[in-house]
Structure formats: structure tokens, C-alpha cells
């Protein structure tokens, strides 16, 4: 069994603020893993550190399909197989989604195959009308997420990190995204799906669920981990692993 992603003792800080405090995580190829955790626990930071954003000083090992990417620049990591679907996709005024997909094709090892995958995904995701519109500009939350999923399908990465791909979506759109993730499952792809609600899990079958509290993965297990969280919230885990007193308003159940 090859590992799409293997993260060991990953720490990251921004200035003096330590956000990731030693993350260990493995996602085998062919599996879909879920990472849950309260707001501010470091999930998006993990995504950006995996993607190689240079705002963070990071230490530790990041292996993608066995290759250490931790010294690679953002674009090299992308070409090595890291793909992030952004929680807040960046708007690029004046650049059409179709143009971006063309440039991505040019940068990919096989432009013709990339274009074929793009064409297929444009059809399944009903993205035709968006190809002539600017990237993430004046799109609804759901449309932005579909645009990210289109790019994911075209890129065919080794590890796809989907940061809150379900947030801001109505329930039909959440189901649609979940089904898409299931459809993208392949023996060559590992998926790390980050969410802070469990509702998306009703429509998919993750292989494993991890929980992040205060910059560490503190619990991993099967779908039952998510079910426990749904009934009891993060409080118990936060008491054991978190740095600060429990804040009722930030309770997991309040999000449902």
C-alpha cells in the first residue's frame, strides 16, 4: 500500500505564533480521509503548509507518494502531486477560468490529456457557462467550490486536500460535492477532506476520520469518530488537548 501523503512531526509558525504543533498523518492512495476540528484548530494552516505557502516557517517531513516535497516551491509541489481546493478560492479579475485551465494544461506533463479531462469535467459539473467568466470573480460559494472541483478533476493529483469544500453550501450542493469526491476516488489518489461539520459525511464513506485540536491530530479512527463528535462535540477532546477554556458558542453542535 503506497502512501499518497505522509506527514511527520509537522510544525508551523507565523512570526511567533505556533499554529501546527507536531502533526502526524497518513493518507494511503485510494482512500478518502476526513480531518475535523473546531474553528481555529489549524486545519487551513495545514493545507497551506502542505501547499507550500511561504508565509509559514515549517519544520517536519511531508512526503507525497514517497517523495519529500518539503523543500519544494508551491508550483513544484503542485507538479509533484499536491492539490488544494481552497476554503476561500482567490479571485483573479480579468483572467477567465478557460484561460486558467489552458495555462494549467500547458504546465502539466501531458497537455492533451489534461484538456481531455477538463472537457469531461466541464460537462459533468455543468461548468460551460463559467469557462468564459473570470476566476472566482462574482461567483456564489457553491460555484467557487465547483470550480475548485473542476480543477481537481483536470489536475489528477496524488493528494487532494479539500479545505471545507462543503462550507457555505446548501444541502443539495453538499450532497453533490460528496458524490463528486466519491466519484473521483481512484487507486492513485488520496483525499484529505477537511470539514468542520459532519453533514457531508452522510453522503460519503470516508475510510478514516482524524480530529485536530490546537495544531495536533489528537484522535483517528473510523466513521464512529465523527458520530461521537456529532453527539458530544469537541468539548471532551478540547479539555484534554486544547490550550484554552471551553467556549460554549464555539461548540460543535452549534454549527449543525
134 binds another protein (CB under 8 A): yes
Binding mask 26-65 for another protein (x = CB under 8 A): -------------------------xxx------------
Q: Applying CB under 8 A, which of residues 6, 41, 87, 108 lies at the interface with another protein?
A: 108
DSSP letter at 91?
Answer: P
Grid cell for residue 151: 480543477
- Residue 6 touching Mg ion (CB under 5 A): no
Q: Positive or negative, the Cα torsion across 82, 8, 1, 229? A: negative
Selected from 2, 55, 171, 256, the binder of ligand ADP by CB under 6 A is 55
Buried b (16+ CB within 10 A) or exposed e, 147-179: bbbbbbbbbbbbbbbbbbbbbebeeebbbbbbe
| 43 near ligand ADP, judged by CB under 6 A | yes
SS3 193: strand
Q: How far is the CB of 41 from Mg ion (least distance, A)?
A: 9
Residues 129-168 interacting with Mg ion (rule: CB under 5 A): none
Give the side-chain half-sphere CA count within 13 A for 147: 28
Question: Closest approach of Cβ 240 to another protein, in Å?
Answer: 34
Region class of 230: left (phi > 0), else alpha (psi between -120 and 50), else beta: alpha
Residues in touch with another protein (CB under 8 A): 51-53, 73-75, 77-79, 82-84, 86, 89-90, 92-95, 99-100, 103-104, 106-108, 134, 151, 155
Residues that bind Mg ion (CB under 5 A): 43-44, 87
Amino acid at each position: 500500500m503506497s502512501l499518497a501523503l505522509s506527514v511527520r512531526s509537522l510544525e508551523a509558525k507565523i512570526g511567533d505564533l505556533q499554529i501546527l504543533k507536531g502533526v502526524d498523518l497518513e493518507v494511503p492512495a485510494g482512500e478518502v480521509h476526513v480531518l475535523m476540528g473546531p474553528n481555529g484548530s489549524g486545519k487551513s494552516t495545514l493545507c497551506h503548509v502542505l501547499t507550500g505557502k511561504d508565509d509559514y516557517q515549517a519544520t517536519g517531513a511531508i512526503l507525497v507518494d514517497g517523495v519529500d516535497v518539503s523543500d519544494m516551491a508551491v508550483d513544484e509541489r503542485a507538479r509533484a502531486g499536491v492539490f488544494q481546493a481552497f476554503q476561500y478560492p482567490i479571485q483573479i479579475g480579468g483572467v477567465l477560468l478557460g484561460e486558467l485551465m489552458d495555462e494549467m494544461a500547458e504546465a502539466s506533463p501531458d497537455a492533451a490529456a489534461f484538456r481531455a479531462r477538463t472537457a469531461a469535467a466541464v460537462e459533468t459539473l455543468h461548468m460551460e457557462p463559467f469557462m468564459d467568466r473570470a476566476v472566482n470573480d462574482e461567483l456564489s460559494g457553491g460555484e467557487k467550490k465547483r470550480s475548485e472541483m473542476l480543477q481537481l478533476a483536470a489536475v489528477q493529483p496524488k493528494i487532494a486536500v479539500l479545505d471545507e469544500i462543503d462550507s457555505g453550501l446548501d444541502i443539495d450542493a453538499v450532497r453533490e460535492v460528496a458524490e463528486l469526491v466519491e466519484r473521483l476516488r481512484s487507486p492513485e489518489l488520496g483525499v484529505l477532506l477537511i470539514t468542520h461539520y459532519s453533514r457531508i459525511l452522510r453522503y460519503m464513506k470516508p475510510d478514516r476520520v482524524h480530529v485536530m485540536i490546537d495544531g495536533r491530530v489528537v484522535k483517528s479512527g473510523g466513521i464512529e469518530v465523527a458520530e461521537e463528535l456529532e453527539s458530544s462535540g469537541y468539548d471532551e477532546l478540547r479539555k484534554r488537548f486544547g490550550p484554552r477554556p471551553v467556549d460554549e458558542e464555539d461548540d460543535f453542535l452549534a454549527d449543525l
